[in-house]
Structure 1
């Protein structure tokens, strides 16, 4: 069985217009999707002792994700206020709460039991990447970060390096993939939203068109694509089949609210009225 751990960011995504919050965050989303695809998944991170933390814990447990290294700390669970424009998500404001944590020796040793560990650039764990790479293969989501120095420092440790390339053309996507492969990454995934995706290694180059659907909410689609790609690579599936399955899974994510579902009534206890007013104003300006 494919075994993948995800370590890093989590959040509750708060949809003001719906009055609902959903578990989310790049690493949490990858862990849930790996489990749904049939893998053995674990999530290593930190949540607060609040209702938002309860939601995250319950959602991960119900999705059969190992939460033995999920710590609960004093302080608020991270949240992000989400707006929408034509079904595309808009990040209005956020608070990282207790989600930025320092892994301990037990956390790092735990990763040795997994084929790969997924980490996102927003998790604040870059300093730990070399040691994590000594424990398991590394999957890293660069998201929209483009600094060459950062690409080199992290890319050389990656089994799978993922890049959010929405807005990039074919030439730009290939250039970024070539740079990461030259750094030492074994595989590079560039997702480009409605323009499809590119998966490359030194010997393989595959593209896939996006599966066109009428989207409800695009939040989490890229994380789903990453999870299915990593899962397929570790299963040694054919790259073209991996991309096709990933495109289908990402399209399915776009057809429900929240990255992984599990809606609950929004908890506004940690969100001040000033933040809510500012967030609603931003939503009105982008509507």
Structure 2
């Protein structure tokens, strides 16, 4: 069985229009999707001792994700207030809460029991990537960060380097993929939203179109693509099959609210009415 651990960011995504919050965050999402795809999954991270933290813990448990290394700390669980323009999300404001943490020896040793460890650039764990790469294969989500120095420092440790390339053309996507491969990444995934995705290694280059659906909510689609790609690579599936399955899975994620579902009423204990009012003004200004 494929075994993948995700270490790093989590959040509750708070949807203004619906008055609901959903578990999310790149690393949390990947851990859930891996489990849904049939892998053995674990999540290593930190949440608060509040209702938002309760929601995250309950969601992970119900999705059969190993949470033996999940910390519950004094302080608020991270949150992000999300608005929408049609089905596309708009990030209005956020607070990282207690989600930024320092891995300990037990965390690192835990990763040794997994084929791959997934980390996101928003997790604040870049300094730990070299050490983690000695314990497990590294999957890293660069998201929209594109400075060459950062690509080099992280890319040389990556089994799978993923980049959010929405807005990039074919030439730009290929250039970034080539640079990461030259750094030492074994595989590079560039997701481009409605323009599809690119998966490259030193020997192969594959593209797939997006699966066109009428989206309800696009949050989590990119994370789905990453998780299914990593899962497929570790299973030694054909790259063209991996991309097809990943595109189908990402389209399915766009058919429900929240990255992984599990809705609850927004926790006003952590998110004050003043913050929500400011976020609503920002939402109005962007629509």
TM-score normalised by structure 1 residue count? 0.99
1:172-191 alignment, distance < 5 Å: 172-191=172-191
> How many residue pairs align between the two structures?
287
Q: Which residue of 2 aligns with 1:100?
A: 100
Quote the Cα distance in structure 1 between the aligned partners of 2:63 and 2:41. Answer: 9
**How many angstroms does 1:278 deviate by?**
1.0
Quote the Cα distance in structure 2 between the aligned partners of 1:275 and 1:59. Answer: 25
Q: Which residue of 1 aligns with 2:142?
A: 142
Q: Which residue of 2 aligns with 1:116?
A: 116
Deviations 1:168-227 (A, max 9, x none): 000000000000000000000000000000000000100000000000000000000000
Quote the Cα distance in structure 1 between the aligned partners of 2:271 and 2:52. Answer: 12
Q: What secondary structure is seen at the aligned counterpart in 2 of 1:218?
A: coil
Q: What secondary structure is seen at the aligned counterpart in 1 of 2:112?
A: helix
Quote the Cα distance in structure 2 between the aligned partners of 1:49 and 1:272. Answer: 17
**How many angstroms does 1:274 deviate by?**
2.4
Q: What secondary structure is seen at the aligned counterpart in 1 of 2:128?
A: helix
Q: Which residue of 2 aligns with 1:235?
A: 235
Quote the Cα distance in structure 2 between the aligned partners of 1:263 and 1:117. Answer: 27
Q: What secondary structure is seen at the aligned counterpart in 2 of 1:98?
A: coil
Deviations 1:15-60 (A, max 9, x none): 0110110000000000000000000000000000000000000000
Unaligned residue ranges in structure 2 (runs of 5+) = none
Quote the Cα distance in structure 1 between the aligned partners of 2:270 and 2:136. Answer: 37
Matched, 1:40 2:78: no
Quote the Cα distance in structure 2 between the aligned partners of 1:189 and 1:8. Answer: 20
Q: Which residue of 1 aligns with 2:80?
A: 80
Deviations 1:87-134 (A, max 9, x none): 000000000000000000000000000000000000000000000000
**How many angstroms does 1:83 deviate by?**
0.3
Q: What secondary structure is seen at the aligned counterpart in 1 of 2:175?
A: helix
Q: Which residue of 1 aligns with 2:70?
A: 70
Q: Which residue of 2 aligns with 1:221?
A: 221
Unaligned residue ranges in structure 1 (runs of 5+) = none
Q: What secondary structure is seen at the aligned counterpart in 2 of 1:282?
A: helix
Q: Which residue of 2 aligns with 1:130?
A: 130
Quote the Cα distance in structure 2 between the aligned partners of 1:250 and 1:212. Answer: 10
**How many angstroms does 1:138 deviate by?**
0.0
Q: Which residue of 1 aligns with 2:276?
A: 276
Quote the Cα distance in structure 2 between the aligned partners of 1:16 and 1:54. Answer: 20
Quote the Cα distance in structure 2 between the aligned partners of 1:271 and 1:43. Answer: 25
Q: Which residue of 2 aligns with 1:262?
A: 262
